[in-house]
Amino acid sequence: MRYTSVNPQCLVLIIFFMSHPFSNYIKIIGKGKKGSRSLTEQEAFDAMGMLLRDEVTAEQRGAFLMLLRTQEETPAEVTGFLRACRSLIRDDFQNLNVNVDIGCYAGKRRQLPWYLLAVALLAKSAGPVLLHGAHEPGSGRLYASKVLPALGLPLAGSATEAKTHIARHQAAYLDLGELLAPLNELIKLREWFGLRSCANTLARLLNPSLAPFAVQGVYHMHLDYKHCRVNEAFPEYDSLCFRGDGGDPEVNAERPTDLLITRRGHTELVPFPESSSRWALKDKAMDVQTLLAVWRGESTHAYGNQAILATLASLLVFTQSLPVETAMSQAKAMWEKRDTSTLPFL
């Protein structure tokens, strides 16, 4: 009988993987069609905690995230993951005392982020707003963080700066790298995987400040309903989720939009009708000055003007429990009364 020698280093790795506790979670979701199953909420909480605390190898991290991507995460798994993320957010971020939380993670590639002008008006009327987001290298998208300083809202580098900006602007923007650096690192892995992971979903759902109102924009069909199932597990705050333009929290007025509003653990679908019969072409130049020109009333934009009003009206439906028609009338009045002599967030 012939025996094949095993490299000692390989033997150490084999023993390590066999004994490492995280390998059990990979086995649960990776045993094939008949042998695998989804994680329970508790298992998901434990697994994501290990992932975020860097208690796994790079190989385990990649295998776990891509297996989840293949199978698609269940609402129970996302709920467990989200609880793990929130358990690692510092208290100073959770005590920012804002009214509305808005995740800005998709980035725009066809149209400018017109929703930011709607958010500026909401902040002036409905109390402090916290925006948070990230950017993916090489995506070619225009992210909120690149636009907000030109609109009068500087980027906050800490909870202390965020509080200062909230006091002055009624709004603040924090990068996910400041809020939860390990989750931000998972998002950046797209550059290596070529695919997004559940980290993008978790960032949108994060509501790091535990604001009473949380807004989430998604892109893919049916993902809004999965968000709702997760939102229903957190009745301590209300949530709005919808399929926004490019995946950002912007209502595209060229098509009907289903606003999925979750209050105290129960979800209601509010239909928001289209208000434009024309389809806008992709902007040739994504120039922030175009946003400012429309804000100042120096020019109009077929897509932009409709998107601002529709997005603002949707936010009013959510935060003030208004009927769609009333919210649209109020949005138009707020837009007409805006102070065109200053930057949107000043």
What are the distances in angstroms from CA 96 to CA 145, 157, 172? 19, 14, 10
Report the pLDDT value the prediction gives residue 13, as an integer from 0 to 100.
46
Which segments of the chain have a pLDDT < 50? 1-3, 11-17
So what's the pLDDT on residue 164?
98
The number of distinct structural domains making up the chain is 2
Asked if residue 277 is part of any domain, the answer here is yes
What does the pLDDT read at residue 278?
Answer: 65
Return the CATH number at 128.
3.40.1030.10
Pick from 20, 246, 294, 291: nearest CA to 140: 246
Cβ atoms < 10 Å from Cβ of 202: 25
- The pLDDT value recorded for residue 200 is 93
Q: Are residues 226 and 314 in the same domain?
A: yes
> Which pTM value belongs to this model?
0.91
Q: Are 75 and 246 spatial neighbours (Cβ–Cβ below 8 Å)?
A: no
Query: What is the phi/psi pair of residue 237, to 5°?
Result: -145, 160
106 and 15 in a single domain? The answer is no
Q: Looking at residue 62, which CATH number applies to its domain? A: 1.20.970.10
Do 137 and 267 sit in the same domain of this protein? yes
- Which range marks the domain in which residue 34 is found? 9-87
**Whether residues 65 and 192 fall in one domain:** no
pLDDT of residue 214: 98
* pLDDT for the residue numbered 326: 98
Is residue 341 a part of any domain in this protein?
Answer: no
